[in-house]
Each structure stands twice: as structure tokens, then as C-alpha cells.
Structure 1
Amino acid sequence: MKKIFKIQAIFLLLFALLPFSTEAQKGKKASTSDSSYFEKPYPYILPILGDKAHNAKVRLPFPMGIMVNNLVGTQFLSLTDLSLGFGRFSDPNPPNMIDLSEVVEFEDIKAQTSTHNIRIDTWVLPFLNVYGIVGQTKKADINVNLTKPIPLDVSTEVSGTYVGYGLMAAGAVGRLFASLDMNQTFNYNPRLEEPAKVTIFGIRTGPVFKFKNRPQSNVTFWAGAMLTSFNSETTGNIPSLELAPNAPERIQELQGNLDNWYEDLSPADKLKYALIYNRLGEGLDNLGESIQDSYISYSFNKGIENPWNMLIGAQWQLNYRWQIRTEAQFLGDRTAGLFSLNYRFGIKGKNWFSN
């Protein structure tokens, strides 16, 4: 079972490490230097109704953007309802699963990761942004401590890929902006039967500070919160050779730990858990007999005890095309730091649905 739990930890962290958008330019009134810009028709096909905002002398951001994000962080999570099965690759029939939910115990599970992604977005309305995300986890150090029925202290390194989409509504009143963001990601790993899916909601608000002599530049600060939810059930399998590459010594060690757990039970619990003990013992014997042909199937539910996180961030807009931002996520079960570089552009043409 050495790597059974690593997949959940990395995917949950991947879900937590997705970037959010705040457009500090939104709602910004024209400066004197923008006068020539507003004398001409709105030049871009998006956003819809962009020409009306333009005629009202509201300087919209460039409608499209490419953002590169890097994030490092730590995520704590919990696992429940664990079931295991011991199978053979040469046998097409799935193994019978052993329900360990009554006996398994975990200590805190922690994942430390570094990930990067690319986000492409567009403003379809002056207040509504849609985007897509593709990313990869470069490195994730996972620490899992299983205390019963087989004590294991597992530290491993994994990586993975993910894709997703999102929507963001944003607006401003005077110097203060606010945004509400939702995104959903699908995280893939060859060991998982189905991709892990996560939905994240975020809310941000804060002031925009303009530079009097540099109308294209400003600095934005914000604070907010984010909520993470995901499909709780995870199923998959791990080849036994990855679990016990130094078999048979490792198999014998696991069998010894299992025997010690059972011997420490009370007479009543020995009777209650005898079937689990015998089936786990048979499964370990199966691994030892054919380490290269066998595998372990698993199923469990994953969760976050404290799904809400607080966040603070800042953005420096160098000009209308380039922005640099950073954000810190803290409290709850996650701490993370994000750094982003954003480039904005537009496709010229008749503004969609304009008069």
C-alpha cells in the first residue's frame, strides 16, 4: 500500500493551485491622454457591447489574454472509506475488494508541490470573462502516514497534468473592484480510472491605485476567499512492483506489521476483524508469489476538513498589455503562493452585435 494514497494528495493540491483573475483596468475612466482613443470607433470584435462601453468613455482592457502562472504550496487532506483488492494482470476478472473503513487510521496527509499552467481568456461581455487552463505539476512531495492496520510512513514524489475552464464576473465602483470566479479542472493520471474533477469558487475585492503621470499603469490590491469542492470517490490501481520493489523483504515486513496489529487487538476485536486480517494476509501472500504480475486496486473518498481559504494579492499593471501579479493563500488546509505574468491583446474587427 506504499503509494496507494499519493494520487489523492497530488490531485487535490493541483485543484487548489489554479490561478484567478482580477482585471484592475475594468471600469477605469478615460484620462486626457486617452482622448484620441475614444474619438475612434471601438476596434475589437469582443467583448459584446464593448462599443457601448467605449462610447461611454470607459477604457476596457484588451479583450484577450495569455497568462503564465507558477505556484508553490502545501495542502492537507483527509481520506476515508478505503477498500483494497489484490489482483493479477494475467486474470481479466477484477479482484474482490476488502473494506478497511472500520480499521484504517491516518495521520495528517500533506502534499508540497510546485506547478505551472497557461491560461487563455477572453471578455465575452464587459463584465464576463471566460477562460481555459492547461497545466502540469513539476514536482510534488507527498507525505502519508498510515497507522493501522499496517503502519506505513510514505514519502514520494509525483507529477501530473490537468485541464480546465472557468468563468469570472467583475465590475468596479469608483476605485473599488470586485470579482466572482468559478473554475473546474480535470486531473489525469494513468492509475486513475476516471479523472479527478474539482470545482473552485473565489471572491476578491480591493482598491485600484492609479499613477497620475502614467495613465496606462496602476497597482491593485485585493483580499478575498476561495472554496474548493470535488468528486470525492477515487478508484485506481498500482502495480505491486512499485509497492514492494525490494520483495520479498518488503512483503515480509508488511506481513509482520499486519500480524502485530492483529495480536494487539482485544479478543472481541480479533473475532470481529478476523476476516479482514485473513484476506489482507492472503493478499500479501499473492504479492509475494508473483510480484511482477500482481497489482493492488484501491477505492477511497477524499475530503478537506476546512475547504475555505483566505487570500490576499496584488497586481502591477505596467501598461495596457502587460501585468504582473502575486497572490498568497492561507488559513484552512492550504497555504500557497502564486506568481503570474499576463499579456493582453485583441482581434480587430466590427464589434459583435453592435449597431
Structure 2
Amino acid sequence: MKNNSFLVFLFLLISAIGFSQVYTNKVVGKKNAELLDSLKVQEYPYALPIWGDKATKKGFQLPYSAGVSLNYFWQESEMTFKNLEVGFNNGPMYNLDQIVRFHSAKVSGSALNVRPDIWLFPFLNVYGILGKADMSTNINAGVWVPDADNNWTEVLPFNTKTNFDGTTFGLGLTPTIGIGGGWLALDMNVAWTDIPQLEKPAMSFIFGPRVGKTFKLAKPETNIAVWAGAFRVHIKSETKGSLPLSDIFPSDGSAQSKVDQAQAKVDEKQTNVNNWWNSLSNAEQAKPSNKAKYETANRALEAAGNLLNGIDGALSTLGDSSVQYSLEKSQTNMWNFILGSQYQFNRHFMLRAECGFLGTRTQFMTSFQYRFGL
């Protein structure tokens, strides 16, 4: 069935990425003595960063105080879900945690964003984020029910890929310090991604500590920087929304056939559970283990019946029906490892690339930046 699951619209993929690409470096070493002396006597010509004149006199080489960058970001990651509730046509909501199992749930996509920034202090860069994201969800899941022996069987599989897009906006800051020719940066930002299928924009928080070193090249003002670090994504867990049922199920009748088959399987399981329970003596029914098994099976079968009856009723008026949903989502692994490098053509232009791996998230980012004094 096309767009088998209302779930595919719920998964936030892209929030925001970006950090300051240039750093406040402490000038050290005998070969840099001439540069160090010139920094200490030269008057700092710009209003930003605050205390910029004091920093240069202490031997720190500051980047231009303002900049704008164009960033491209791609990632693929696994998600985990809980507290799933579904309703139809604004009717009762049913919790499906017991019966819906996700074999795999991957989100992937790309984003293009613009990031203006300023150095507010020599050790603090602040920036804004505005971008567009193209995303897709790839879901392999199913509805499972038990029998009298607590053996679970899949009665309705979900396997779908859906594309959608969103707009991202956010704010970030990067505390940084130059240490002995190297630097430490602690990038963090909060962003909101507005997806039409959600009731309100989804919020995310990114934290990315990095440690790196910049190497001067023979040509004046050129250098290459390399770094390693970590990348942590936290997504606000609660998601609510509503979708037209016609966005999920095709109109060729195939969905109705699969739902009818699933309902028949649920009815068969319920009959088996009832027959097993009625075959027990009063003493056997009083055993906690048998009672727990019976109650667990009935709860699962009731939840599956409610879900399938809701879908069945909504399919009869497919064009006018809707699905309401609520769930909590999170990254399967919040952290992954990153490596990056940047080439500086001169103090105005830089090109950067960064990749992330390990854990359950893979990502790549490239960026081109222009800087100027302010």
C-alpha cells in the first residue's frame, strides 16, 4: 500500500549545523615573532569584537569580525519512537506501543542554509541560521498480536518511503579559545524546523565540541585547519499532527484488502485466546501467570482491533477522512564522531568540509564563507 503509515510524516531530520570556521589564534613561536610584535603595536580598526584591541595586544590574531556562509548538509540516522497514539477523524486516540514494532526507521536528507555571524567577543561567535531541508523517511514496521501461548505474529506490515520538505531557522553561539597555535571550539545551537504536516515547528539542540590546529602555508594569509570532535543532536521528543487519509492510502482498493486480512487474523487470535482461557479450570485461571498472559493478549488484540476498525471506517470515506497522531521520538544514538578540515584562501574566503560517522548517524557538510570587518 502506498504511504502505508501515517508515521512517515513525523520524523524530523534536519535541524541546523554550523560553527564559526575561523578562530582566535594565539601567535606563538620564534618564526612568528615579527607578526606577534606587529599585533601588539597595531591599532585594532574595528568595533567588533568587544575587547578586540586588548586581545590583539596580548598576541591573539583575530579573524574578521563578521561573516556569512553558505552551508550544505547531508545526513542519515536511525530513530526510536515511543508513546505512539493514533485516532481517526478527530475521534478517540489509541495507544499502539504494545502492538506496533519498528524493524528499522531511518531518516535521511539534505539541507542548504545561510548562516550570518559576528564575533561578539574575541572568545565568542554568535550566528543565525535560515535554510531549506529536503527529507525522506524509510520505515519498516508492522502490527503484531499474540496468541494464547504469548507467541507474537505480524498481521499488518508497514514498509514505505516518503519525501517532504521544511524550513529551518535558529540561533547559535560558539565559545572558542586559541591555545598554543591550536584551538578549542564548543559549538551549540537551537533551531526550529517547520514541516507542514506538524502542528508546530519541531525543535532541536545541537552541541559540537571540536579541537583543532591551524597550519600556515607559504602563500601569505593562506592556511589549512584540521580538527576532530563529536556531534550531539537532541530533538524535542513530542510530536503531534494530522494528515488527510488520502495522503497515506491509495484509492485502488489494495489497502482495504490488507486491512480485511489483518482483521481476520486478529479475530482468529482472539478466538484462540478465548478458547484457551475457557478450557482452564477455576484454579488455573486464578494463577497469576495465566491471568497475566490472558490480560496481556486481550489488551494487544483490543488495541489492534481498534486500529484496524478505525482504518476500515476511514477508508469508506477516504477523500474526507483524516488521521491524528502523537508520539515521542529520539535519535537512537545522540553522539557520533566527526573529522573536518578547512582551507583559507585569504582572510576573506574559506572553504570547509566535515564528515561524521560511528554510532547510528552518518553525515557530511561543506561550506563556503566570506568574512569582513565590522
Fold shared, TM-score > 0.5 on shorter chain: yes
Higher deviation after alignment, 35-44 or 52-61? 35-44
SS in 2 for 1:286: helix
TM-score with structure 2 setting the length? 0.83
Distance 1:61 1:31 in 2: 19
- Note if contact 1:63-1:123 (Cα within 8 Å) is conserved in structure 2: yes
- Note if contact 1:48-1:126 (Cα within 8 Å) is conserved in structure 2: yes
Q: CA deviation at 1:8?
A: 3.5
**Residue of 43, 47, 50 corresponding to 1:48:** 50
Q: What residue in structure 2 maps to residue 23 of structure 1?
A: 22
Q: Whose helix fraction is larger, Structure 1's or Structure 2's?
A: 2
The amino acid of 1:2's aligned partner reads N
- Note if contact 2:23-2:177 (Cα within 8 Å) is conserved in structure 1: no
Higher deviation after alignment, 261-270 or 320-329? 261-270
For the structure 1 residues 207 and 283, does the alpha-carbon distance in structure 2 shift closer, same or farther, using more than 3 Å as the test?
Answer: same
SS in 2 for 1:241: helix
Distance 2:78 2:191 in 1: 19
SS in 2 for 1:131: strand
Distance 1:198 1:256 in 2: 40
Q: CA deviation at 1:251?
A: 2.7
Superimposed CA distance per residue, residues 2-31 of structure 1 (whole angstroms, 9 cap, x where no aligned partner): 24222333x1x203x622334245334677
**Residue of 317, 326, 346 corresponding to 1:299:** 326
Superimposed CA distance per residue, residues 263-322 of structure 1 (whole angstroms, 9 cap, x where no aligned partner): 356613553334323322331232222111110001111012321111010011111011
- Note if contact 1:167-1:182 (Cα within 8 Å) is conserved in structure 2: yes
**Residue of 321, 339, 344 corresponding to 1:317:** 344
Superimposed CA distance per residue, residues 69-98 of structure 1 (whole angstroms, 9 cap, x where no aligned partner): 1122211111111110000xxxxxx32101
Is 1:157 the counterpart of 2:163? The answer is yes
Following superposition of structure 1 onto structure 2, how do residues 18-167 of structure 1 map, counting pairs within 5 Å?
A: 18-24=17-23, 26-28=25-27, 32=34, 41-87=43-89, 94-138=90-134, 140-149=135-144, 150-167=156-173
TM-score with structure 1 setting the length? 0.87
Q: How many residues align?
A: 336
For the structure 1 residues 317 and 262, does the alpha-carbon distance in structure 2 shift closer, same or farther, using more than 3 Å as the test?
Answer: farther
Higher deviation after alignment, 162-171 or 259-268? 259-268
**Residue of 175, 180, 184 corresponding to 1:178:** 184
Superimposed CA distance per residue, residues 188-218 of structure 1 (whole angstroms, 9 cap, x where no aligned partner): 112211211111111000221112x333111
- Note if contact 2:266-2:305 (Cα within 8 Å) is conserved in structure 1: no
Distance 1:22 1:170 in 2: 11
Q: What residue in structure 2 maps to residue 242 of structure 1?
A: 247
Following superposition of structure 1 onto structure 2, how do residues 183-222 of structure 1 map, counting pairs within 5 Å?
A: 183-211=189-217, 213-222=218-227
- Note if contact 1:328-1:336 (Cα within 8 Å) is conserved in structure 2: yes
SS in 2 for 1:283: helix
Superimposed CA distance per residue, residues 101-145 of structure 1 (whole angstroms, 9 cap, x where no aligned partner): 11111111112212211111111000001111011113x332101
